[in-house]
Structure 1
Amino acid sequence: MDNETKIVNMPLIPLRGLSVFPYMVLHFDVGRKKSIKALEAAMAKDQKIFLTSQFDIDIDSPGINDFYKVGTVCKIKQMLKLPGDAIRVLVEGIQRAEVDEIIEELPYFRVNVKTYFDSIEVDKETQALMRSCVSSFERYISVSNRVSPDVVLSVSSIDEPGRLADIIAAQITLKTEQKQALIDAIDIKLRLERLYGLLLTEIEILQVEKDINDKVKSQINKSQKEYYLREQIKAIRDELGEEDAQDDEIEEMRKRLKRHRLSKKIDKKIASEIDRYSRLSPSSAESGVIRNYVNWILDLPWRKETKDEIDLVKAQTILDDEHFGLESVKERVVEYLAVRDLTKSMKGPIICLVGPPGVGKTSIAKSIAKSLNREFVRMSLGGVRDEAEIRGHRRTYIGAIPGRIINGIKEAGTKNPVFLFDEIDKLSSDFRGDPASALLEVLDPEQNKEFTDHYLEVPFDLSKVMFITTANSLNTIPRPLLDRMEVIQVSGYTEYEKLNIAKKYLVTKKMEEHGLKKVNLSISDDAILEVIRQYTRESGVRELERKVADVCRKAAVRIVKGEVKSVRVTDKNVDKYLGKTKYHYDLIAEKDQVGIVTGLAWTAVGGDTLSIEVNTMKGKGKLQLTGQLGDVMKESAQAGLSFIRTIASEYGIADDFYETMDIHVHIPEGAIPKDGPSAGITMATALISALSEIPVNRFVAMTGEITLRGRVLPIGGFKEKSLAAKRAGIKKILFPYENAKDLEDIPDSVKEEIEFVPVKSMEEVLAHALVKPKKTNVKKAAKGAKGENHEN
């Protein structure tokens, strides 16, 4: 049968997993940029586009050899923009076509297609094929629920053979290759023959599916029959006085529920769940879900709690034995115990221990639990980003379990344990929720008495739990959460405290772990101090513990080899066991110098000294800052420079120095970022020293922020900075007057060696820091660059 043809130029879109027949109305989504441009080109012309199918649906960017050459010319009926730059398109198939020539591939496929018009002539053979297809299509609908029976009426009235074949093909479920075989059939008789064969095959498959469904349905009816039989067996056993395992379990559940003496509301809910469980078959999935839920409820310590042993002397002894130093933390724990003893009903406080790593925050919480005679539960919050970790999963989810708080209470076996939330500053959040917000209810004494876990769906009283949290920094803790906690700062240890911790705890602990006895290994105090100073840089003792373990391992090797029977480690041979020194600390200079001042800084591993150097040279008033300084320190330098301009004449500095001299401020160790509001007076002092050529006392260190008028503002980390000053050999520390209250936190061993001078203004700072009196009203011309520092 001949078909009329015509060559037409139009855009092409390859479809993934879709085939379009003539006379078929279809909507699909377009997201590829190439396809969107083809749509736009078609809409700009005559709204006609050529659609064909890809060979492989996994290819995201098909080339000219990745799609079938025979497809359908379609009319674009509607376009709708979707979120994400996608477009939903409604098209209607018009006629078959075949790619004759690919004109261009970019920015979209543009092709010349050869269109085909189906002949409407019908001979006897064609008419017979049409009747066979319609009859088979009716049988297909009778065994399939995928096509409406009304479609048969519209199909049977079609006289055109090509149209009949295409409309039926569009209604039946076929694979892409099968649909393409029908699209490729330009000859109508061939098309009808292929369609008839596919219909017969699909009818056979559908009949098999129906047989399988009938078989499954009969099996379900069989299961229901078995259920009734089991119920009859149960009734017979009851008559005979026999009980099965499930009956025993259900009875035990009811007894346990009665023993818990829960509130009426909770008791009624759990009793109804037990009743549901008793009516279900043990093999059903829901039976297992209810069983786990009821057991979780019954395993919780609803009324069980440990009795606090309020013995202040015993508590103080436990804290002193297990922790050296940390007096403020111990004092707070003893205060809590005293108030608890007086009130008998005080709610558990929420204590937040904040300090650098390795200072013993977690072990303090364990000691608190021990001193109270309570169970201890620890939950690490580092990296937790799912709210379900706190509140649990709802029972509708497969594998749902309660949150880790309820799980911890269950493990503790009491409703009043000491519950530690470790690393609370490292909580994070994502699309699964915000755990920090979920903790708001947990840590609020007014709300946590009715804490409701998503899995339990009943309130549990957490008001008697003593919650303790730990953090390295308060900066990342959300303000509403921080507001619910009492913050106790756990600062770093002094060298003296580290020495005692090593002698009393670490050395003994590590020797036992490595199978060593006192006769095998001895470590002198000087050796421990050498390790503290040269091999560790931390506020806590975690790295110190590792180094002691290193020494124990090396000693064990020598003893096992038979080289020696005992090892004695001193400051002279410690490098033999730990290698070359790892760290060094800045010490004071040999002489007073111009433009160099020692500042004090706080870092995550404790305090450190900060040497600030200033040099001046002829120029045009440029201020250069180097050394990886943050915005705060840069602003401090600018503020200090502005202040100096107001007092320049008093120190013999030329009034126009800011126009005739370039100033370079540098803080060594430039690769390490430095920032914070505590170096203002240090940089101002260094600037004045460099501009006036007055040396700075090398035994003086300082910390504090400066204002434009020379006032000294308070700082943080005072204790850690003081320890760093002692380590460097500083004899005098200048600090803000408002930090005078922090002197009580400074160890006596530091106060004995260092003079602490509170200052309110830069005038006082300069009076203590500069080694020569100020040159009042002495005018001095700006001088050139100083090739080297002046010495006193």
Structure 2
Amino acid sequence: MTMTTYETAVMPALALRGLTIFPNMLLHFDVGRKSSIKALDEAMTSGQPIFLVSQRDLAVEEPKGEDLYNIGTVSNVRQILRLPGDNVRVMVEGTCRGRLLELTQTEPHLAARVEEIPEEKQFRRSARTEALIRQTYELFESYIELAPKMTPDVLLSVLSSEDPGYIADYIAQNLPMRPNDKQVILEELRPVRRLEKLCQSLRREVEILELEHEMQGKVRDQLTRSQRDYVLREQMKVLQQELGEDGQGDSEIAEYRQKIQALKLPQEVADKLNKEVGRLEKQPYSSAEATVLRNYLDTVLELPWGKRTRERVNVEAARKVLDADHYGLDKVKERILEFLAVKQLSPQIRGQIICLVGPPGVGKTSIATSVAKAIHRKMARISLGGVHDEAEIRGHRKTYVGAMPGRIIAAIKQADSCNPLLLLDEIDKLGNDQRGDPASALLEVLDAEQNSTFRDHFLEVPFDLSDVLFITTANTLDTIPKPLLDRMEVIELTSYTDEEKVQIAKRHLIPKEFKRHGLSRTQVRLSDEAIRTLIRGYTRESGVRILERQIAALCRKAAMRIVSGDIKSVTITESNLEKLLGIPRYHPDHLPQTEQVGVVNGLAWTSVGGELLEVEAAVVAGTGKVELTGNLGDVMKESAQAALTYIRSRASQLGVEPDFYKTKDIHIHFPEGAVPKDGPSAGIAITTAMVSALTGTPVRRELAMTGEVTLRGRVLAIGGLKEKTMAAYRSGIRTVLLPKDNEKDLEEIDQTVRAGLRFVPVEQVDQVLAEALDLKVCDPGVELAQPHAAPQAAELPAMRQ
């Protein structure tokens, strides 16, 4: 094997930083170091080539032999251009590779002994080499397509050559590769091997460019979307400014999103609202759809989501509040305090729905107000009287014109609390028509198992009503649907006695009216007897509303006298009451002075309390006709027919002519014929009046009776006993006949009334006749129970307080 020898020569040297030049290539670059400029000048002056070699470390300012690579390029200086600031731009052409043998000098410029390495010209053309060249072409084409600054002209210069060494040098010179990678290709003297190394570097560069393009594409897409949205928003702003809407939409959307985020909403509700905000964002500001969405969002966001008042669960404190606001109503107060006691032991208890039933003016609405004050809950009142549209309860769909939530959600919004006390007033006066049944819509509201997810048609999202305390009021239970009534606990408020009205007037009504009319207790004095006369002669009601109005009338009269004259105080007594208010409107029922035939004192219940109801019967010669007068209902007429049949079946035992129904006409009349009357409780009174008229036996004067009669003469239970006995006591009655089955109800009667009346429970009409007519009914086949008196007040169980 023979060693190849190359020519050596000493020539100026220039150290390159971050730059590599290949043979047969033109390159221009800037030179700034003084030693490098001197080396260029020397080469240009002497006509010598210059040796260009790269530094290993770019930071070295004055490189030595060990700081330079061994292989560089012997080049010719083609052009030198002086630049401002002592810089030089030079154009060089590489001729061949050279090996640095040694540095002969370092001052004033570098000079080196260089061994020139000519390019290997002869190589074996093979399929592998051809495949390598083609692969290089493909990679270089891909690189040119991907590289931003490469032009297709570069590719033409490569395609015209078949020399693998030249191809490798040319591509390496034009690729922005790392200096170390270029140096590796420069140091490779074998052309085919050099091309292989270039392929590896080129493949890596193509992959890097592809990744760069992919990332740039993603960034470009994002920027394109952002710029598109920005442009569209700017256009919208310009349009809004032209329309006079100056960017209201953006601030409004941001405000809605901020409110939704600030509220502690259930996830389902938050998702729904965010969806609606997204829809609003896409709508023109003044469109009809935007108005609907804006109204919907405002309504939902104004609801007290998760906002609760802290209850005061203290039984004794609540008792004081209830006693201070209301006199009597012991059963109602007891039930409310029981609820609070359970609440104190089990704070999580739910589903409390109370229905207060009673005549007008007895304090149903005011007791609900006192309960709210006692337990520190906010209160909202919903009047259901005359409501006949289901949408009033559940709301309208938000797409309807003028849509709004139902009264339940509106009351929650008004109370500004998730646990208020909702008063559903006049629930017995709900109506229905073709637009739905509101009573059926209330079934969900008043059901503790369902109302935790109550869905109003307007809201379209569930709202929890399980923490709401519902109190409903009604005058009667007859018109409330049974399924709705089944969801409520009924508490009855009965009529007030005269003594209770006196206490209510003294404790509540009079101070209230004095304050309203600007009067003091020193200016107006109202005696107890005047109050009692006012109650008896000027009012006839179960409650105290008319009494309150009459007291207000007295206050006006007193105010007029004080203002118009020198009088400083007015005293109202029983004697001057008629002068102030006029003739009494009502007169107490007076008993007849003597006992009469065919006149019986019955007892009736009305919506304003109990009344004494006279039953008159007269017998005249005729053909057996029965006449009923007095504006009677069907039930009362049927009671008269039942009584007549009973008398006919017992005519011989009662001492009545057996054919009286053929020879006598009977006329039964109820005075005050303009007042409608109905009900079965006058049955025994009609029977007694007819027997008295047929036998000519007078009826006891100080006796009254109530009870339903059957064809067999049984006496059945009735209702309203408290009001009826109160009317009897007020009218001077001494003895009251009542059904045996009602004996248990005597416990609820006022203590004063129980002490002033004698009660006789009866099971058969025979007992009634024996007590009222002193008539002994003779029937060998029937053993009659002797009438017995009820125990006196001292013997009866004590009335619950």
TM-score normalised by structure 1 residue count = 0.67
**1:233 offset after TM fit, Å?**
6.6
Q: What displacement does 1:704 show?
A: 0.8
Letter in 2 for 1:620: T
Matches within 5 A, 1:141-290: 230-232=233-235, 246-290=249-293
Specify the SS of the correspondent of 1:757: strand
Matched, 1:673 2:679: no
1:657 correspondence with 2:646: no
**Identity across aligned pairs (percent)?**
56
Distance across 2 between alignment mates of 1:548 and 1:226 = 74
Deviation at 1:361, TM superposition (A): 0.5
Q: Separation in 1 of the partners of 2:264 and 2:376? A: 26
User: In structure 1, what residue type is equivalent to 2:568?
Assistant: K
Deviation at 1:594, TM superposition (A): 1.4
Cα–Cα, structure 1 residues 294 and 688, in superposed 2: closer, same or farther, change >3 Å?
A: same
- Counterpart residue number, 1:553: 556
* Residue 530 (structure 1) aligns with: 533
User: How many pairs does the alignment contain?
Assistant: 548
Aligned residue identity for 1:275: G
Structure 1: distance between partners of 2:744 and 2:280? 65
* Alignment match, 1:10: none
CA distance in 2, matches of 1:720, 1:292: 53
Q: 1:708 aligns with which of 701, 711, 715?
A: 711
Partner residue, 1:352: 355
1:464 aligns with 2:464: no
Aligned to 2:567: 564
Q: 1:684 aligns with which of 682, 687, 709?
A: 687
Displacement, 1:611? 0.2
- Shift, 1:408, TM fit: 0.6
1:735 aligned onto 2:738: yes
Partner of 2:61: none
1:591-630 equivalences under 5 Å are: 591-630=594-633
Runs of at least 5 residues in structure 2 that lack an aligned partner in the other structure: 1-227, 241-245, 781-801
Aligned residue for 2:614, secondary structure, equals strand
In the alignment, which residue of structure 1 is the partner of 2:411? 408
Structure 2 CA distance for aligned equivalents of residues 341 and 621 of structure 1: 69
Local SS of the residue matching 2:404: coil
What is the rounded CA distance, in whole Å, between the counterparts of 1:698 and 1:256 in structure 2? 78
Q: 1:693 to 1:409 in 2, by over 3 A?
A: same
- Decide whether aligned partners of structure 1 residues 619 and 404 sit closer, same or farther in structure 2, where only a CA change above 3 A counts: same
* 1:592 match: secondary structure: coil
The answer as to 2:384 corresponding to 1:381 is yes
Question: Does structure 1 conserve the Cα–Cα contact (< 8 Å) formed by 2:738 and 2:761?
Answer: yes
Give distance in 2, aligned partners of 1:478 and 1:776: 49
Of structures 1 and 2, the larger Rg is shown by 2
Query: Once the two structures are superposed, what CA deviation does each residue of 1:71-113 show, in whole Å capped at 9, x if it has no partner?
Result: xxxxxxxxxxxxxxxxxxxxxxxxxxxxxxxxxxxxxxxxxxx
The CA deviation string for residues 206-238 of structure 1, in whole angstroms up to 9 with x for no partner, is xxxxxxxxxxxxxxxxxxx9997654476999x
> Following TM superposition, by how much is the alpha carbon of 1:377 offset from its aligned partner in structure 2, in angstroms?
0.7
Equivalent of residue 300 in structure 1, options 299, 303, 324: 303
Task: Provide the secondary structure at the position in 2 that maps to 1:564.
Answer: coil
Aligned-partner Cα distance in 1 for 2:697–2:320: 54
- Partner-residue secondary structure (3-state), 2:423: strand
Q: Secondary structure at the match of 2:593?
A: coil
Distance 1:506 1:265 in 2: 51
Residues 231/766 of structure 1: CA separation in 2 closer, same or farther (3 Å cut): farther
Residue in 2 that maps onto 1:445: 448
Q: Paired residue for 1:398, among 385, 396, 401? A: 401
Cα-to-partner distance string for 1:296-320 (whole Å, 9 max, x where unaligned):
1111122111222111111111111
Letter in 2 for 1:287: A
**1:642-664 superposed Cα distances (whole Å, 9 cap, x missing partner):** 11223323332222222221111
Aligned with 2:530: secondary structure? helix
CA distance in 2, matches of 1:559, 1:590: 45
Compared with structure 1, are the counterparts of its residues 768 and 227 closer, same or farther at alpha carbon in structure 2 (3 Å cutoff)? farther
- Deviation (angstroms), 1:773: 4.0
CA distance in structure 2 between the partners assigned to 1:564 and 1:226 by the alignment: 84
* C-alpha separation in 1, matches of 2:564 and 2:403: 55
Report if aligned partners of 1:356, 1:540 keep a CA contact under 8 Å in 2: yes
Distance 1:276 1:642, change over 3 A: same
Q: Comparing 536-545 with 724-733, which one deviates more in the overlay?
A: 724-733
State the Cα distance separating 1:430 from its structure 2 match: 2.1
User: How far is 1:673 from its partner?
Assistant: 1.2
Assess if the C-alpha contact under 8 Å between 2:625 and 2:664 holds in 1.
yes
Q: How far off its partner does 1:709 sit?
A: 0.8
Match of 1:774 among 766, 773, 776: 776
1:571 Cα deviation (Å)? 0.9
Distance 1:420 1:572 in 2: 43
> Structure 1 residues 777 and 412 mapped into 2: Cα distance closer, same or farther (>3 Å)?
closer
- 1:402 is displaced (CA, Å) by 0.8
Higher mean displacement: 434-443 or 649-658: 649-658
Give the 3-state SS of the residue equivalent to 2:591 in structure 1.
coil
Q: CA deviation at 1:256?
A: 2.6
- C-alpha contact 1:386 1:434 (8 A) present in aligned 2: yes
1:641 and 2:644 equivalent? yes
How far apart in 2 are the matches of 1:600 and 1:279?
73
Equivalence for 2:123? none
**Hey, what's the Cα distance between the residues in 2 that align with 1:315 and 1:412?**
21
Aligned to 2:81: none
Q: CA deviation at 1:437?
A: 1.6
1:363 to 363, 366, 372: 366
In structure 2, relative to structure 1, the CA distance for the partners of 1:236 and 1:355 (3 Å cut) is closer
Q: Deviations over 1:316-335 (max 9, x none)?
A: 11111111111111111111
Matched position secondary structure for 2:312: coil
Deviation at 1:401, TM superposition (A): 1.1
Pairwise CA distance, 1:616: 0.9
SS in 1 for 2:650: helix
Equivalent pair of 2:292/2:399 in contact (CA under 8 Å): no
How far apart, in 2, do the equivalents of 1:538 and 1:226 lie?
Answer: 74
Question: Quick check: 1:652–1:777 contact (8 Å CA) kept in 2?
Answer: no
Are the counterparts in 1 of residues 692 and 698 from structure 2 also a CA contact under 8 Å? yes
TM-score, normalising length: structure 2: 0.66
Residue 249 of structure 1, CA deviation:
3.5
Contact 2:603 2:724 survives alignment (8 Å): yes
* Structure 2 match to 1:341: 344
Whether the aligned pair in 1 keeps the contact of 2:766 and 2:777 (CA below 8 Å) is no
Are 1:763 and 2:766 an aligned pair?
A: yes
CA distance in 2, matches of 1:227, 1:516: 72
- Work out the CA distance in 1 between the residues paired with 2:261 and 2:758: 69
- Using the TM superposition, give the Cα deviation of residue 287 of structure 1 relative to its aligned residue in structure 2, in angstroms: 2.1
Match of 1:496 among 496, 499, 502: 499
Find the residue that maps to 1:617 and give its secondary structure. strand
3-state SS of 2:632 partner? coil
Query: Against the structure 1 CA distance between its residues 270 and 392, is the aligned structure 2 distance closer, same or farther, given a 3 Å change threshold?
Result: same
Structure 1 position 551, deviation (Å): 0.6
- Give the drift of 1:394: 0.8
Alpha-carbon contact 2:590-2:732 (below 8 Å) kept: yes
RMSD: 2.3
Distance in 2 (CA, whole Å) between partners of 1:250 and 1:466 is: 36
Aligned AA for 2:456? D
> 1:114-133, aligned counterparts within 5 Å?
none
Q: How many angstroms apart in 2 are the aligned matches of 1:227 and 1:400?
A: 36
* Structure 1 residues not aligned, in runs of 5+: 1-224, 238-242, 779-792
Alignment check: 8 A CA contact 2:351 2:447 kept: no
Deviation at 1:751, TM superposition (A): 0.6
The residue number in structure 2 matching 1:752 is: 755
> Aligned in 2, Cα 1:249/1:689: closer, same or farther, shift over 3 Å?
same
